[in-house]
Amino acid sequence: MVAWVSNNGNVAVVGGVRTPFAKAGTALSGTHVTELARTAMQEVLYRTGWPSSRVDEVVMGNVVMPADATNPARVAALYAGIPESVPALTVQRNCASGMEAIGQAAARIQNKQVSAALVAGAESMSTVPLMLPVETLAPMTRLMKAKTPWQKLGAIAGFRPKHFKMVSGLEQGLTDPTCGMIMGKTAEVLAHEFAISRAEQDQFALASHQKATAAIEGGHFEDHMVTVYAGDRCKPVSADIGPRANQTMEALAKLRPIFDRRDGSVTTGNACQITDGAVAELMVDGELARAEGMEVLGYVRGYATAALDPRRMGLGPVFAIDRLLSATGMTLDQIGLIEINEAFAVQVIACLKAMASDAFCQKHLGRSGAIGQVDTDRLNIDGGAIALGHPVGATGARIVLSLLHAMRREGVEYGIASLCVGGGQGTAVLLQRR
Amino acid sequence: MTTTLRHETDDQGVMTVWFDHAGRSVNTFTPAALKELSDLVDSIAGSSDQVNAVIFASAKQGVFITGADLFEMSELDAAALRKFLAMGQEVFDRIAGLPMPTVAAINGHCLGGGMELALACRFRVAVDDGSINLGLPEIKLGILPAWGGTTRMTRMLGLTRALPMMLAGKIMPPRKAMSAGMIDAVVQPEALLAAAHRLVGSNPEDRKLSMIDRAAVKSAAVTGLLCRAAKRQAIAKTYGNYPAAERLIDVAHTSILNGHQVGLDAERDAAIDLFETDTSNNLRRLFFLRHHAKKAVKDAVGADPMIVERAAVIGGGTMGAGIVHALVRAGIPVRLVEVDDQAASAGLCRVCKMLDRDRKSKRISPLQMRDAMRMVSPTTNWSGLDLVDFVIEAATEKADVKKSLFQKLDGLTRADTVLATNTSSLSVSDLAAATQHPGRVIGLHFFNPVPQMPLVEVVRAGLSSDVAVATGGSLALRLGKVPVIVNDAPGFLVNRVLIPYLAEALAMAAEGAPIAHTDLVMKRWGMPMGPYELLDQIGLDIAVAIFDAVGGQMGDGRVMPKGFDRVIERGWLGRKSGRGFYDYGSRRRIPLIDRRGPRMNRAMIDLLSDGKHAAARPSDSDIEGRLILPMVNEAACLLREGVVDSTDAIDLATVMGLGLAPFRGGLIRYTDTTGLDEIVERMNDLATRHGRQYTMAGELHRLAESNQPMQALTQGTDGRPASGSAAPSKHPQHS
């Protein structure tokens, strides 16, 4: 399945909530990913008034599945009080995992396999573990098998300093082993190829903060936010930690490129933040939702996945949106609002340039001409991951939720949400308001 | 053909004896059951070459054996009782004497006689389930473990460990029982029989007594010293009102000093003596009343309760959090509604603390504690209430606040959701009137602190439907509470009875009665604390609020002592402010029972009494009379007004809600035991000397004249105990 289409009214999203997105190492750093997901799942059922006994399946996106909860969807579902008899599945498509969950649930509803699915995306980037290198395993095993004190001493003598050199799971996770590049390096590739300046990137990042803070002040997140009571003291965490109201171009300009110190332009300021958070949405068969008189946030009309050169993974949305538009027979000018996940400012700008380029679209997509120009006023209107952060497994679900609320607010009929995916993929989903 | 047990022997020669009382949900020892066990033990002893080991197990879910059958015991005459006790001792002794290993495989509640059987076995293994209880709670019924339990426990654990447990009638979860030394192993429920088979082949571990206990076994002087100290402590705690405590210590003394057999004889004699005391009769009757609470709810309400799958609690304050805690412990998910995140956080913390206490007492595992916390879902936007079947409102005690809450709840919940208020002083009918469907509104009055207080008043307002009341009662039962159904009237039952008591105490303080002495007299009488200690505990400002809210509606024209406003102004609010009638000092944690007791706050007492403190020297019986009799009077009014319809309910509520002298069997039982004519006489006497608040309710007068007990005020029973609500036991006045 690389793209599928649904008749309107078949697959309804009837509600969604998210926890605050908190920069890693801050308020939610001690909260387990299953606990974040539990909070969002439990809340969406209360808010929609949907009995947990009527959930047919739970699908959750999560990238760094914790060692102590290897199917976090199942753990979170049971924590949330979903009956033991309801199956739960964790899906992983890196940065698009949260959207993949929506795509899979939507397909099952479309095929009448389930009539109500609880969908989630969750990530705790704070708790991605530090690891010992794989070479440590051999001396460790020898030590564990040793029986006599002499054997033990011998095994201990086998350890070398290199065996204790910690490996950051986060850094490893963000590095694509097939091309040997960390994600930021792939962004630098696009900066060079599309000749995108540092100032352009910083300007985009500043806009993200401004849009996010305006959305917070305007209360745009309030109706789909749930407070997390973190830790033993049940400390309430109710607001995003990431968007900076006082962000300036000057401050952004001061930052040094981190992935390529000499020739690079990607900084921590114009890349997404590392963040903890969870999202949950309830998706119901459209007919059933209307029969129950439920308020529908919007309908899922199609889902597309595409793949490309891992070194240029940031262009994934271009390929996915192309496929989604072709499959649904829509054109870009029909789409009122667009979300393209801000992994890096440069990567989103590159996508816009590629979509507007006749040459690119002819060469790579086999189109006769450009997909079209994306009006930046319609792009990520409530801010993106540069301000709000990117809990990798959760973001895909967040941008869909955010887009559905923005579409309602702006009176827009169609919207597309899309992400680039580490490893060289892209996903996109088409949403319809009514 | 047996009806209480069956047995099977495997190819290894291990016999498993299954207790499975036909047609019952629990196993108890009736005389017939004991006889069956006795016959079986005989046959085992006779075929000891074929049986290599015996495992005692139960086929009942969650129950091993809950002890001797009190219902059947109460029907035995003295001779039969003696025979029953002797037979139990003798059977258990024979089990202890069997040549092959014996194991008690404890799958559920193992109490009293059940525990004594387990103690007679060579090994005891129990399932790891914090919700089940093990122990010897006989003392709570005014008797003592008499099937070898007192003797075995004392000799097995030593005086210093066994006595405190038996004297408190302590029951505990398996893990706690294991650390107390009562059982050998705690295992996963599924592995119980496998563990029992494993133990059969092992050697019993040597139990090490503490140094003092080893000395006690060797030296009569040490034993005597320990027992005398225990007695002193027991008397200080019970004021000598519970004779079983002292007898138990004597029996333990004897069994250490004179050996097993003499111990058994002493046990049996003591049990027979104690069984016939008023104290034991009263305690057993309360046990039956409590036991029958479920049936009482069913009898009082002609409707089946609805099933509560999910509940909401409005307000996470002390009471609200306590109710949330009770709900999640019973496995009911809760939507907790609070005004803002901070309040919700505070509420969650309170629940967390209560759960942590359960964890520390090994009632729940750390995992179960986290699961319970996850069942609480806080909200500040009132969403999700259409998913709940039952709402308990525990918000600020203000009429307008609660009224608008109920209006709001009315629109947010399904029409069949029961709406309950935890109000203590407001009219439930008034709150119901704020809704479109008043039939589903009831009161559910919990007491503070909720985890410790067993009573819940289920308040039926004028328009409350039977289903709503039945659901409230059945929910209370599910939470492990004792429901008492009352009609909507100011103060309901417990506070209504309490107010005259406290009001009288204040009046006496104003007259210059000695404060500390009055408290002491009332504790001796059987109250858990004296009236002034209680006022300090409640908080004097709260007491005033209750007087205003309820006393005003009672309309008996009682007035506060004139200095009282100034006392409140000075911030002397009781324990919480550090000063009330007593000075609690600046220590943050104040032990409830302080050997010396806190000092009196003379400044306040002088203010209240106009400097006349201790000028009056009322006799002890006057103090008792002035404080207790107004409660009796109020109880008569409650019955006349139909707030409650049975005297049993008043007895149960006064004991469970006020802690009023359990050994006296509750307020009405006390009255009838004393004799209504004497009570009436004392009341008349007090009225002539102290004024109109002792003017007796008309019906008491009438009953006394026609020589009937107060119990006759139970509706439609003409003096006979209400059917089902009292045990088939012989009450003193009927025997």
A47/B374 Cβ within 8 A: no
* pLDDT at site B558: 57
Q: Does A339 touch chain B (CB under 8 A)?
A: no
Closest-approach residue (CA) in chain B for A224: B381
Across chain B, what does the average pLDDT equal? 89
As given in the structure block, the two tokens for residue A144 are: 């564990």
Distance between CA atoms of residues B36 and A195, nearest Å: 95
What residues of B are in contact with residue A238 (Cβ under 8 Å)?
341
Q: What is the distance in angstroms between the Cα of A211 and the nearest Cα belonging to chain B?
A: 26
The full DSSP string for B87-142 is HHHHHHHHHHT-SS-EEEEE-SEEETHHHHHHHHSSEEEEE--TT--EE--GGGGT
Residues shown for chain A? 434
Q: Does B380 touch chain A (CB under 8 A)?
A: yes
Kindly report, residue by residue over B305-355, the tens digit of the pLDDT: 999 999 999 999 999 999 999 999 999 999 999 999 999 999 999 999 999
Confidence of residue B577 (pLDDT cuts 50, 70, 90): confident
A81/B352 Cβ within 8 A: no
A46/B387 Cβ within 8 A: yes
Please report, as a single letter, which amino acid is at residue A96.
A
Q: Does A45 touch chain B (CB under 8 A)?
A: yes
Q: Can you tell me whether residue B233 is helix, strand or coil? A: helix
Query: Once rounded to an integer, what is the mean pLDDT over residues B510-534?
Result: 92
Q: Does A34 touch chain B (CB under 8 A)?
A: no
Closest-approach residue (CA) in chain A for B383: A47
* pLDDT at site B300: 84
Between B335, B345, B384, which is nearest A229 by CB? Answer: B345
Query: Once rounded to an integer, what is the mean pLDDT over residues A376-384?
Result: 97
Q: What is the CATH number of domain B307-488?
A: 3.40.50.720
Q: What is the distance in angstroms between the Cα of B469 and the nearest Cα belonging to chain A?
A: 25
Please report, as a single letter, which amino acid is at residue A361.
C
> Domain locations in chain A?
3-128+273-432
Confidence of residue B721 (pLDDT cuts 50, 70, 90): very low
What residues of A are in contact with residue B333 (Cβ under 8 Å)?
81
Q: Does B720 touch chain A (CB under 8 A)?
A: no
pTM: predicted TM-score of the whole model, two decimal places:
0.93
Q: Does A42 touch chain B (CB under 8 A)?
A: yes
Q: Which of A32, A43, A44, A46 to mutate to test the interface with B (most CBs of B within 10 A)?
A: A46
A234/B349 Cβ within 8 A: yes
Q: Is the pLDDT of residue B733 over 60?
A: no
Kindly report, residue by residue over B440-459, the tens digit of the pLDDT: 999 999 998 999 999 999 99
Q: What is the distance in angstroms between the Cα of A223 and the nearest Cα belonging to chain B?
A: 9
Catalytic residue, from B109, B445, B613, B731: name it.
B445
Nearest to A300 by CA among A168, A131, A105: A105
Contact predicate A406/A378, CB 8 Å:
no
Between B348, B377, B386, which is nearest A234 by CB? Answer: B348
* pLDDT at site B720: 37
B387/A227 Cβ within 8 A: no
Distance between CA atoms of residues B661 and B682, nearest Å: 20
Q: Which of residues 298-357 of B touch A (CB under 8 A)?
A: 333, 335, 341-342, 344-345, 348-349, 352
Query: Once rounded to an integer, what is the mean pLDDT over residues B175-204?
Result: 93
* pLDDT at site B243: 93
* pLDDT at site A326: 95
Q: Is the pLDDT of residue B382 over 70?
A: yes
* pLDDT at site B729: 34
Residue found by looking up tokens 């225990």 in the block:
B230
Between B341, B342, B383, which is nearest A46 by CB? Answer: B383
Least confident of A38-42, A333-337, B394-398, B539-543: B539-543
Q: Which residues make up the CATH 3.40.50.720 domain(s) of chain B?
A: 307-488
Highest mean pLDDT among A50-54, B80-84, B223-227, B672-676: A50-54
Q: Is the pLDDT of residue B75 over 70?
A: yes
Confidence of residue B551 (pLDDT cuts 50, 70, 90): low
Q: Can you tell me whether residue B175 is helix, strand or coil? A: helix
DSSP state of B574: B
3-state helix/strand/coil string of chain A: CCEEECCCCCEEEEEEEECCCEECCCCCCCCCHHHHHHHHHHHHHHHHCCCHHHCCEEEEECCCCCCCCCCHHHHHHHHCCCCCCCCEEEECECECHHHHHHHHHHHHHHCCCCCEEEEEEEEEHHHCCEECCHHHHHHHHHHHHCCCHHHHHHHHHCCCHHHHCCEEHHHHHCEECCCCEEHHHHHHHHHHHCCCCHHHHHHHHHHHHHHHHHHHHCCCCHHHECCEEECCCCEEECCCECCCCCCCHHHHHHCCCCCCCCCCCCCCCCECCCEEEEEEEEEEEHHHHHHCCCCCCEEEEEEEEEECCHHHHHHHHHHHHHHHHHHHCCCHHHCCEEEECCCEHHHHHHHHHHHCCHHHHHHHHCCCCCCCCCCHHHECCCCCHHHHCCCHHHHHHHHHHHHHHHHHHHCCCEEEEEEEECCCEEEEEEEECC
Q: Which of residues 169-188 of A touch B (CB under 8 A)?
A: none
Q: What percent of chain B has pLDDT over 90?
A: 68
Q: What is the distance in angstroms between the Cα of B476 and the nearest Cα belonging to chain A?
A: 23
Q: Which residues pair with A276 in a beta bridge?
A: A22, A124
Q: Does A80 touch chain B (CB under 8 A)?
A: yes
Q: What percent of chain A has pLDDT over 70?
A: 100
Closest-approach residue (CA) in chain B for A35: B374
Report whether CATH 1.10.1040.50 matches the domain B495-734: yes
| Positions of A marked active-site | 95, 390, 420
Domain B5-276 in this protein, CATH class: alpha beta
Confidence of residue B22 (pLDDT cuts 50, 70, 90): very high
A45/B387 Cβ within 8 A: yes
Q: Is the pLDDT of residue B593 over 70?
A: no
* pLDDT at site B718: 40
Q: Is the pLDDT of residue B728 over 80?
A: no
Q: Which of residues 386-425 of B touch A (CB under 8 A)?
A: 386-387
Q: What is the distance in angstroms between the Cα of A233 and the nearest Cα belonging to chain B?
A: 6
Q: What is the distance in angstroms between the Cα of B377 and the nearest Cα belonging to chain A?
A: 7
Q: What is the distance in angstroms between the Cα of B78 and the nearest Cα belonging to chain A?
A: 55
Q: Does B368 touch chain A (CB under 8 A)?
A: no
What residues of B are in contact with residue A49 (Cβ under 8 Å)?
383-384, 386-387
Query: Once rounded to an integer, what is the mean pLDDT over residues A321-326?
Result: 97
Contacts across the A-B interface (CB distance below 8 Å)? 47
Nearest to A281 by CA among A6, A29, A55: A55
- CATH number for domain A3-128+273-432, candidates 1.10.10.60, 3.20.20.70, 3.40.47.10, 1.10.533.10: 3.40.47.10
Q: Does A373 touch chain B (CB under 8 A)?
A: no
Q: Which residues make up the CATH 1.10.1040.50 domain(s) of chain B?
A: 495-734
Q: Which of residues 342-371 of A touch B (CB under 8 A)?
A: none
Confidence of residue A255 (pLDDT cuts 50, 70, 90): very high
What residues of A are in contact with residue B343 (Cβ under 8 Å)?
none
Nearest to B484 by CA among B368, B596, B652: B652
B348/A229 Cβ within 8 A: yes
What residues of B are in contact with residue A80 (Cβ under 8 Å)?
374
Please report, as a single letter, which amino acid is at residue B197.
H
